[in-house]
Chain A
Amino acid sequence: MADMTLTKTPIAEQKPQERIRNFKEVTLGYTAQEAMKEAARCLNCKNKPCTTGCPVNVRIPEFIAKVAEGKFEEAYDIIKSTNALPAVCGRVCPQENQCEGKCVRGIKGEPVGIGRLERFCADYMMDKQKSAERPEPNGHKVAVVGAGPSSLTAAGDLAKQGYEVTIYEAFHTAGGVLMYGIPEFRLPKEIVKKEIKALEDIGVKIMTNMVIGKVLSVDELIEMGNEAVFIGSGAGLPRFMGIEGESLIGVYSANEYLTRINLMKAYKDGYDTPLLKSKSVAVVGGGNVAMDSARSAKRMGAENVYVVYRRSMDELPARKEEVHHAIEEGIEFHVLNNPVRIIGDENDRVSELEVVSMELGEPDESGRRSPIEIKGSEHTIKVDTVIMAIGTSPNPLIKKTTPGLEVNKRGCLVVDEAHSTTKEGVYAGGDAVTGAATVILAMGAGKSAAAQIDKFIKNKNAK
């Protein structure tokens, strides 16, 4: 009989006053006892709505049943059979919209803490894993562009089937947004490194400092004997608002701010990359990237951190848990405000952000209520730093240098239902196709693209 407690087993967290002074992980994870207790809440439903809500279809009730019995290694193997990066997903997935959003227990009370359990299994096994054996090579080569979540998933799945996979990464470190974007306090980088190491153990080769489109073209990757290419280059091109004052000192894109902190470790002593010292910071936007930037700014010593968002608290696109954490950490939300101008001091450093108040109009076609300016409501917020977190779009570099590759008007690569681009043998997935989305959606795309690439190469060679 399942444990019918209506709420999730609580999880230990660092206290807000402590954690705003460090970059250590906020959520500390379940103990074995807590995990087994939470696992006992699962009803083991026959139709498994949770699994259909997971973009990589983790066999959720099956692994949870093992956790309930205390068979953590078996639980982990079940997760790992469909999910290449469980320690990452358990931490950063917006479970409320995915697996946990579909959980039957969520109808009356809280859903089963699926993310927390996945994370527990992955963490439990992190140092116990023997490195997996290398699959028998099948004699076929595939190139993967980018080393973010979609690419890592595709590469892992292909390598398991014996493909010789090489990942080409532009940065000096693999991981994409997992390394440069999501901060240490949400996703420790050691964990990402270990998950990537596990892929290298099964034979995935990673070449860093390789900017595809510059150092090698997609056509050259094919000439080098790769029978297919997967493009998982993400959506890393930041947007600015186009308002006055965006070139002032102290205006950052969230990408730049987070890259300096996470990838270049500007928060740690002994690392060379500098970051401006900020007293008051305005972060423009309401997604996870905005929350990450705001919470990072706080940890870098800013006294006042404001999230400036043009809609209301109800429309914030960030994960609920992150908004909750941000509020606990003293981040102030200036919702229904839209920046109109950034004002600088005599040294061209940001001194104020001018915003206009907004009200919400009727829902638009997409069902979202669009914000409308309230005339004459302009006012200023005193800040010395402004971080723009209003979204990103795919980098045009690969498209520009690859003849035959089509993109839509938002710069996203055009693919068919089989993840094939307009160029034969070239597949794509993740943010490069959808525009900025989530880690798990990118992984789902990488997974199904890998299956299509396998089919494509087998068909081609059968002829």
Chain B
Amino acid sequence: MFKILKKKQLNENVVLFEIQAPFIAAKAEAGQFIIFRVDEFGERIPLTISDYDRQAGTITIVVQTVGASTLKLVKLGVGDCISDVAGPLGVATEYEDGIKKVAVVGGGVGCAIAYPQAKKLFNMGVDVDIIAGFRNKDIVILEDEMKAVSNNLYICTDDGSYGSKGFVTDKLKELIESGNKYDEVVAIGPVVMMKFVSRTTEPYGIKTLVSLNPIMIDGTGMCGGCRVTVGGKIRYACVDGPDFDGHQVDFDELMKRNSTYKEQEAEHICRLTGGKRNG
């Protein structure tokens, strides 16, 4: 059992949890994830490790309510326990030596995953520009945290209610065109956003790292449910990734595969919110 030590609502749909998990906290690195199962009836769902404290033996996860399992998770409070948390899984993000300037692009709740990357790079002495995109002002998260680990933080909202109006890709393009020489771009967020960030950087030949989020079960390489096509080859995101070269990823296939259980998921949420559930 994994005890929840801290819970913080970041916006209406996004919750931050600090969880007691000393074994995971001892090993976690930016880019890695955990698989959780809320209770005996729960499914196994992957979530990126957003932060960790080795001394305190805690890890931080940031959850957006998108379906039944995340709904069940955010209903838990401080002192409650999550039945299972396995990790740290996946390969930690690797950066080449000598990189000087990086743009970290986060979309929505993806900013919570982009944050540890920015923090790691910033602490390595790299110049970090963060471009964080949200639909509107109300759902902006982690602004102070991101500001603290970047040289420049650019917030974009789709409706212009905060920061600059437009998509992260507009801002990224503008920054590149105005002479910012990025050695690498790191994009984390919805698949469609990562796809368009990759498309934006491709003509400039800027290496672009994306953190993929396919459907997973075990997260240890034993089922292949998370397979993605990268550079024409099948790779398992849970053991070979979750980071891949954005210019090599088949994003359209990933979006299709992520919709596999759309019907069942919709049915499930109805059942859950309807209050009828066994066990």
Contact = CB atoms under 8 A, between A and B. Distances in A.
Interface of A: 170-172, 208-211, 214-216, 236-238, 240, 242, 246-247, 249, 252-253, 255-256, 259-260, 264, 269-276, 347-348, 392, 395-397
A259 B234 contact: no
Interface in B183-221: 217-218, 220-221
Interface in B1-49: 23-24, 27, 37, 41-44
B221 A215 contact: no
B261 interface: yes
Interface in B224-260: 224-225, 227, 229, 234, 239, 250, 253, 256-257, 259-260
B86 interface: yes
A97 to B, nearest CB: 26
Nearest to A272: B43
A271 B225 CA distance: 19
A246 B234 contact: yes
Contact of B86 (A170, A256, A348): A170
A264 B221 contact: no
B69 interface: yes
B44 A256 contact: no
A207 to B, nearest CB: 9
Given A214-B88, A269-B278, A253 B224 contact: yes
A284 B23 CA distance: 40
28 contacts: A170-B218, A171-B86, A171-B218, A172-B86, A210-B23, A211-B87, A214-B88, A215-B27, A215-B88, A237-B221, A238-B224, A240-B224, A240-B227, A247-B229, A249-B257, A253-B225, A255-B223, A259-B218, A264-B44, A269-B278, A270-B41, A271-B41, A272-B268, A275-B264, A276-B260, A347-B256, A392-B222, A396-B221
A351 B196 CA distance: 30
Contacts of A209: 84-86
Given A255-B222, A273-B43, A395-B220, A214 B256 contact: no
Contact of A348 (B84, B88, B217, B256): B256
B248 to A, nearest CB: 15
A16 B76 CA distance: 44
Contacts of B279: 270
A215 B23 CA distance: 6
A143 B223 CA distance: 26
A238 B257 CA distance: 18
Given A211-B86, A247-B229, A272 B221 contact: no
Interface string B63-100: 00000110010000000000111111100000000000
B151 to A, nearest CB: 33
Contacts, number: 113
Nearest to A276: B260
Contact of A236 (B24, B222, B234, B257): B222
B85 A259 contact: no
Given A208-B84, A272-B41, A272-B43, A255 B260 contact: no
A397 B224 contact: no
Contacts of B234: 240, 242, 246-247
Contact of B223 (A170, A211, A238, A271): A238
Contacts of A272: 41-43, 68-69, 72, 268
B278 A215 contact: no
Which 7 pairs across A and B sit closest by C-beta, in order of nearness? A270-B278, A236-B222, A256-B223, A274-B264, A172-B84, A209-B86, A273-B43
A264 B88 contact: no
A211 B224 contact: no
A259 B239 CA distance: 18
Given A237-B222, A249-B256, A260-B217, A274 B84 contact: no
Contacts of A275: 264
A256 B42 contact: no
A98 B37 CA distance: 40
Given A246-B234, A273-B43, A397-B220, 12 more contacts: A211-B86, A247-B229, A247-B250, A249-B259, A264-B44, A271-B41, A272-B43, A274-B261, A274-B268, A276-B261, A395-B221, A396-B221
Among B43, B85, B218, find the residue whose CB has the most chain A CB atoms closer than 10 A: B218
B265 interface: yes
Contacts of A397: 220-221, 239
B83 to A, nearest CB: 7
Nearest to A216: B23
Among A236, A274, A396, find the residue whose CB has the most chain B CB atoms closer than 10 A: A274
Contacts of B23: 210, 215-216
A2 B84 CA distance: 54
Nearest to A271: B41
A236 B224 CA distance: 10
Contacts of A215: 23-24, 27, 86-88
Given A171-B218, A236-B222, A255-B222, A214 B89 contact: yes
Contacts of A276: 260-261, 264
Nearest to B253: A247
Contact of A211 (B72, B89, B261, B265): B89
B146 to A, nearest CB: 28
Contacts of A347: 256
A264 B43 contact: yes
B265 A274 contact: yes
